[in-house]
Structure 1
């Protein structure tokens, strides 16, 4: 990273309120865990390392053991990778598709806008969890399919935000001047309209990420999300649900991980909105 980029990053962080810094720290922590977690895990993810089940926290097992005697910390470090990267990937795909459709609808208008808008309204009328459940039941729940399903589920929400932004921009003078110069619609979309939508769209992508993490966790808790031998944070909660009456760390640790990730992302998004305002 260049010195200028580092200064800009430092200025951005110092300009955030304390809530934003806490949120940014939580998000950065889980990103680091998602990248490095499997390499620093003290035990193999599927290894049976404890003769007891639902052991309490100790010097040997920092987060106790699960319902099969596996190390919870090792499994959590591995599961965070699927939750974070599936959520980020699906949010990026959803926002890319939604924004592309929004720019197409805003610049072509007429019947193109009407067809796209009505199709998105139809999808948006179906509750996201029900839509995801139907798609999972129809297509299965492999990792690539889960990414696509979660992305498709949240395309309509991003489309509505992006279309409203694009519609406001296409009527401004600089777009009119670009049209008078004879620029193509594609050029206007990519060079005139999209750059002025970036900051709101980044905030919206952060919100989509939070929604998708919660959706993935809910699907996994129902047994329809990430399937063995893989596991995400929602899967860890589901498989250790029998330890709830014992107050086992095996169920509370992944639940707190989901909460800290989503709360941190929300704090960072709110702080970023205030900073831009």
Structure 2
């Protein structure tokens, strides 16, 4: 039995005993459960399995510490009211906010962070990583690290633009339909049903095949696909607001439709709409990445995570994991946004932790 195995089990058992002694029930259950799982994995996979568990636990612990420190940093930087809300945020939400903040910094300052240009050829095809290229080169000899940094700006920026366009169309139409009612409400509802009945990927492929794969076409196609989803939610939320007494009072004062939407309906529908914005961004982000992987999204030489996975997929056959890095970047941002959205939905639902 190696020193690593002895130290590994000793650490878990000592930690479990200390947690039980100080009556830390949750910590004890976590450590002792990890001990039992490690015992089984050690029998099946040997020392390598225990090292994998130790590394995974260390990564999770590091992520928890970073999330806690970032939450405390935000609490110190914001106002008292916002700080009170942030203190109730779980570590998962803090981790999501940290990831989003990191991606935002990478996208905004991409030209200063990336050591090379996104289309600059600096080496031979599929050159290995060295001191100048942290992740090696792609199929044309371009720096993979620089392209991933620039891909943050292009992929996330395009998804944000498309999501915002979808929300402007869907939320505006939903609040207008709830305010107007009658035939306009019925027409918009049936029109949204027709658009939603078409598979999103097929509709996007059809639009891009007809009109080309420019940025404007991608944004318009994605906005048309997801605007009906936003419309349905906005119509449901606004429908509960327009029956309130203060809406009737505003109508009796002679206020117009624009005033009712801006001053009465929108302020009382913000919480669910903001949460829905985060969810729709995840769907749009994955759709844009999928289109780029199929070759119909962002066109080369512009860096994009979806197309980078496709262009360097042959490296997987040689045991290289470099093509999985942009895929991991897509997955990490999606998970981070969902963490934040879950917390926002919990806050907007009015539930309280016991």
Same fold, judged at TM 0.5 (above)? yes
Choose from 86, 90, 93 the match for 1:13.
86
- The structure 2 residue matched to 1:205, chosen from 267, 273, 277, is 277
TM value normalised by structure 2 = 0.74
C-alpha distance in 2, partners of 1:89/1:207?
Answer: 15
Q: For residue 320 of structure 2, what is the aligned residue in structure 1?
A: 248
What is the distance in 2 between the residues matched to 1:255 and 1:96?
29
**Aligned equivalent of 1:27:** 100
For 2:112 and 2:95, locate their aligned partners in 1 and report how far apart those are by CA, in whole Å: 26
Deviation at 1:14?
Answer: 3.1
Give the conservation status (yes or no) of the 8 Å contact 1:67–1:243: no
Give the C-alpha shift of residue 221 in structure 1. Answer: 0.3
CA RMSD of aligned residues (A): 1.8
Q: Which residue of 2 aligns with 1:188?
A: 260
Larger Rg: 2
Which of 309, 312, 323 is residue 237 of structure 1 equivalent to?
309
Deviation at 1:142, TM superposition (A): 0.6
Cα distance in 1, alignment partners of residues 164 and 326 from structure 2: 24
The match for 1:149 among 221, 239, 257 is: 221
Please, which of 323, 327, 336 is the counterpart of residue 264 of structure 1?
A: 336
Give TM-score scaled by structure 1 length.
0.93
Larger relative contact order (CA 8 Å, sep ≥ 6): 1
Contact 2:119–2:302 (CA under 8 A) maintained in structure 1: no
Query: Residue 63 of structure 1 contacts residue 253 of structure 1 at CA under 8 Å; is this kept in 2?
Result: no
- Aligned residue for 1:171, secondary structure, equals coil
Tell me the alpha carbon deviations over residues 93-148 of structure 1, each in whole angstroms, 9 at most, x when there is no partner.
10111011111111111111111111111001111111111111111111122112
* Selected match of 2:161 from 75, 78, 89: 89
Aligned residues: 274
Q: Does 1:216 align with 2:288?
A: yes
